[in-house]
Structure 1
Amino acid sequence: MSSPCAPKYASAGDVGAALMMIDSRLKGIHAGKTGTDPEQQVMIEQFTASMGPNGADDLLDGACTLIFMFTTWLRQAHEEHDKDVIEYVVPNLVGTMRMMPRSVPSEAIPTMAGLVIAAGTGLSPNLWRRQYGDWTQEEMTPLEATAFLLAEHINRITDDPDFATRMITEALSGADED
């Protein structure tokens, strides 16, 4: 029996735009910048303002698709070592988010962990979340943080600061060729 939250029913959204935002954050962190670069923030705000109402939904769906793709990669990597992705990744993610109270309020942590658990069990994070109502403004930064933290986790595992971005870019390029 197929779940209504199965990935085949989900919109992929604007994965490219979501990846651009995450990659920009990753590069900023690795360049030693702390906090948000004001120029980068203006650029992101201008970009999101230019998208229109459907564009914002596409960006949300794109971020959830990234969470699904990152979690799927992590699940496969953990299964190769007979480990459960939920057991090893979710506690690390939750612990890290708890150390980020200005970016990720404690009330958003269960939802963000739920997105990763949904993806780890093969469900679409955006469809799983949608069943609980519309996204709130307070969830936007935690959503970005979740995708960022998963990408950074993958980069640390692979000892390659660009692995997660390259993996998604290659998947997108492969999809374009099909």
Structure 2
Amino acid sequence: MSSSCDPQYAPVGDVSAALMVIDSRLKSIYDSSAQADPEQQQLTDQLIASLGPTGAQDLIDGACTLVYIFMKWLRMAHEDHGKDVIEYVVPSLVAAMRQMPKSIHPEAIPTMAGLVVAAGTGLSPNLWRQQYGDWTKDEMNPLEATALLLAEHINRITDDQDFATRLVSEALSSADEV
């Protein structure tokens, strides 16, 4: 039986732009010798400001698609080792978010955890979230942080700082070939 949150019904959004934002954040985290690159931040801010309402929704949908892709990969990796992805990913994700009170209001953490659980069980995160109304401004940073933390988690377990970005880039390339 098909669910109304089945990924086949979900908009993909602008995955490339969402990946660019996440990749930029990852690079700034990994380059400990560099301070926050103001030029890179300005470019990211300009991109987001130039989107308009439709582009902003596409970026949100793209971020949700990243969450889905990352959780699908994590689910397969955990299942290969006889482990439950929800049990191993969600608690550390929630703990990391709780340590980011300036960026993530505590009220947003349950929503982001639910988003990750939805993706981890094979549901579309954006369709799951849509059941509860429109996205709020206070959920934008937490959504970005969720995708970022999942990407960083993947990079850490693969011991490859570019693995998550490459994973999505290769998926986009193979989708373009179809």
What interval of TM-score do these two structures reach, taking the shorter chain for normalisation? over 0.9
Quick one: which amino acid aligns to residue 100 of structure 2? M
Counterparts of 2:138 and 2:34, CA distance in 1 = 21
1:164 aligns with 2:172: no
Other-structure match for 2:45:
45
In the aligned structure 1, how far is the partner of 2:132 from the partner of 2:37?
A: 33
* Residues 129 and 34 (structure 1), Cα distance of their counterparts in 2 relative to 1, 3 Å cut: farther
Query: How far did residue 50 of structure 1 move?
Result: 1.5
Once the two structures are TM-superposed, the CA of residue 38 in structure 1 deviates from its matched residue by: 3.0
What residue identity is the alignment partner of 1:29? I
Normalised to the residue count of structure 2, the TM-score between the two structures is 0.97
Supply the distance in 1 between the matched residues of 2:35 and 2:143 (Cα, whole angstroms): 17
Please state if 1:145 is matched with 2:132.
no
1:22 corresponds to: 22
| Distance of aligned partners of 1:139 and 1:35 in 2 relative to their CA distance in 1, 3 Å threshold | farther
Q: What is the identity, as a one-letter code, of the residue corresponding to 1:32?
A: S
Asked if 1:108 corresponds to 2:108, the answer is: yes
Alpha-carbon separation, structure 2, partners of 1:104 and 1:159: 27
Q: Secondary structure at the match of 2:4?
A: coil
**Pairs within 5 Å for 1:117-156:** 117-156=117-156
**Unaligned ranges ≥5, structure 2:** none
CA distance in structure 2 between the aligned counterparts of 1:62 and 1:2, rounded to whole angstroms: 23
Q: What are the within-5 Å matches in structure 2 for residues 42-81 of structure 1?
A: 42-81=42-81
User: Structure 1: how far apart are the matches of 2:126 and 2:144?
Assistant: 13
Cross-structure match for 2:92: 92
Aligned-residue offset at 1:36: 4.8
- Give the drift of 1:105: 1.1
The one-letter amino acid paired with 1:147 is: A
CA RMSD of aligned residues (A): 1.2
Query: What is the identity, as a one-letter code, of the residue corresponding to 2:147?
Result: A
Counterpart CA distance in 1 for 2:152 and 2:48 is 23
Q: CA deviation at 1:123?
A: 0.3
Alignment identity in percent?
Answer: 70
> Residues 54 and 163 from structure 1, CA distance in 2 versus in 1: closer, same or farther, beyond 3 angstroms?
same
Deviations along 1:61-110, whole A, 9 cap, x unmatched? 00000000000000000000110000000001001111111111111100
The two structures have a TM-score, normalised by structure 1, of 0.97
Q: 1:141 to 1:68 in 2, by over 3 A?
A: same
Instruction: Give the number of equivalent residue pairs.
Output: 178
Residues 30-82 of structure 1: CA deviation (Å, up to 9, x unaligned)? 11168854332321121112222110000000000000000000000000011
Whole-angstrom CA distance in 2 between matches of 1:164 and 1:129: 23
State the SS of the aligned residue for 1:104: coil
Q: Which runs of 5+ in 1 are unaligned?
A: none
